[in-house]
Structure 1
């Protein structure tokens, strides 16, 4: 493909702000994708077709340090697929995702942690109505490890699928999840916690959607999806064949993922339903670590329940793992007060 010839269309307007009207629902999306316009091997048209094939509702373009393809991506949005414009800001000491930026908008990237310039880029994204995501914080290659503070970031990419063709869940993701979980313990008590997201980091064929983030949004629209991600009303799935629901009930009130439940001193019943993961192990995690674990049937479908109190648990979140220990799904927390 002649990238230079086609980049002129990057000056086109933004993709449609809303896709097919489906109202409040759970929407599946991959917010870390590369095409031939940076270091990917596939054209945007192919990535869009693949996204539809694997059951995604939205996609974010995140080429490295360029907005040259924004117009190409915008022209590919449709009633069935929402496209968010973005950039992978590839600095000298860590990468991050700028999601929901304006057409043609470029976020500065040529700096390192010692230059004290990252705040300017974070403000630029915020002023555009977008969100900033710390990407693959424990990536094992030069500049891939994230050396910045998470202050000012909206979310952390705890599951990155760049090596999904070899192993969908690896030691880098395990380290990112552990660090995020530790920060969640502190943040849940102050109300300043950062949601987890998962993305494919697609560069090659067959990677898109492994994993992806499932977001509860008021509609399949850019602002609504970004709001859902920002609020942590989301969970991460290995594939669209995996489904999960999580709720907590106490004192006549119910809360879901990313929400806060006022238990008023009463017992809290936590209920999770999982499907699409044969012989999976489902574990419940709080600020005390893993507190309960059960195995699903061989069919991979089941509903599990666990009880706690807000005095004992500041939050509860779920991990679903394959028999070999690899992750199949994980959730953001339900906060308990």
Structure 2
């Protein structure tokens, strides 16, 4: 009856890569928990979340797969009639009610149930192309939006559904940041079959490798999304020696802000900078995929800055949550 521990030894405060949308043979996936853990580690992941459809993680199925350098979070994909959402960091054996829809008005109670357990609520694949996949609930009350879902994209890691989700989230940022709270973006594989896990995944800055710390990093937007572990991004903004990273606020006091992105693993790709004014700057990466791009702005010009990294064919290889300028 052993469940995974909520804390691993890890590397202390560090960037950790994880996939928080994974299905096993215990719901409609084709891989066993053992196979998923092996493949997740091979993909360079530090953590995964169990998100079976409308069910808790099976007792004894996952606990023995955790390790000092590998964390397993408990979760559920709440598969309702009018959209799917992820309940991450719920209690062992906890099942969140899935038999509801927009017109019932019960979503708030379900979100509260997860929040009382210290968990996180994620609007999953908001534009998935199948019945009930379109997310019809308002984002109000949800903590995070899954803007990049890999279920239909194992052979092409970017598609029209993800494009629509990213555009919708990007448009909402300016208003959400102004009135608060804003909802960070995340990406997950939605693994069901071989070859999907970690494509994409979310890199999170956490104070330690624990359920509480990882969820805190995701909730705060201290995260960015990667196509695979071959892609690495560093993104900072600084003014007068004050530096902020992804998901943080930078008090500029009216000064000029130097925004810098360093990228590895995207040969001949492009880096674009996005603010509340839309796409404001674009630069190319060299053939070896390793490059740095700088762009200057002010808080008066830009309420926030985020970046997207794309391959030559236009597919996203990485994207970040914003740095907020005040």
TM-score range, shorter chain: over 0.9
Within 2, Cα distance between the matches of 1:205 and 1:317? 32
> In 2, distance between residues paired with 1:13 and 1:71?
5
Shift of 1:68: 4.9
1:27 pairs, out of 8, 16, 20, with 16
Alignment-derived partner of residue 196 in structure 2? 207
Whether the 8 Å CA contact 2:236–2:243 is kept in 1: the answer is: yes
2:93 is matched with 104
Mapped partners of 1:234, 1:14: distance in 2: 26
Q: Indicate if the aligned counterparts of 1:160 and 1:173 stay in contact, CA closer than 8 A.
A: yes
CA distance in 1 between partners of 2:10 and 2:102 (Å): 42
1:274, distance to aligned residue in structure 2 (A): 0.2
**Greater shift after overlay, 160-169 or 271-280?**
160-169
> 3-state DSSP class of the match of 2:164?
helix
User: Which residue is 2:81 aligned to?
Assistant: 92
Matched with 1:78 is 67
Contact 2:149 2:162 in 1 (8 A): yes
CA contact (8 A) 2:263 2:289 kept: yes
How large is the RMSD of aligned CA atoms in angstroms?
0.9
Q: Is 1:14–1:102's contact at 8 Å kept on the other side of the alignment? A: no
Q: Indicate the SS of the match to 1:72.
A: coil
Per-residue deviation, 1:77: 1.1
When normalised by structure 1's length, the TM-score is 0.95
Once the two structures are superposed, what CA deviation does each residue of 1:243-292 show, in whole Å capped at 9, x if it has no partner? 00000001331100000000000000000000011111100000000000
Secondary structure at the aligned position of 2:60 is classed as helix
2 CA distance for matches of 1:74 and 1:117? 32
> What is aligned with 1:6?
none
Q: Decide which moves more: 254-263 or 158-167.
A: 158-167
Provide the C-alpha distance between the structure 1 equivalents of 2:141 and 2:3, rounded to a whole number of angstroms.
26
CA distance in 2: counterparts of 1:150 and 1:114, whole angstroms? 15
Following the alignment from structure 2 to structure 1, what is the Cα–Cα distance between the partners of residues 4 and 154?
30
* Aligned match of 1:170: 159
Q: 1:138-287 alignment to 2 at 5 Å?
A: 138-287=127-276
Aligned to 1:128: 117
Deviations 1:191-236 (A, max 9, x none): 3110000000000001000000000000111100000000000000
Q: Is the 8 A contact 2:269 2:285 kept in 1?
A: yes
Q: Check the 8 A contact 2:89/2:215 in 1, yes or no.
A: yes
Looking at structure 1, the residues matched to 184 and 232 of structure 2 have their Cα atoms a distance apart, in angstroms, of 19
Q: Which residue of 1 aligns with 2:47?
A: 58
Post-superposition CA distance 1:74-110 (Å, at most 9, x none):
2321112100000000000000000000110000001
Residues of 2 paired with 1:44 and 1:126: CA distance? 26
Assess if the C-alpha contact under 8 Å between 2:51 and 2:57 holds in 1: no
Consecutive unaligned residues in structure 1, runs of 5 or more: 1-11
Question: CA separation in 2, counterparts of 1:214 and 1:313?
Answer: 25
Shift of 1:71: 3.2
SS of residue in 2 equivalent to 1:126: helix
Superposed structure 1 runs of 4+ greater than 4 Å apart: none
| 8 A contact 2:50–2:57 mirrored in 1 | no
Aligned residue pairs total: 326
C-alpha displacement at 1:70, in angstroms? 4.6
CA, structure 1 residues 154+320, in 2 after alignment: closer, same or farther (shift >3 Å)?
same
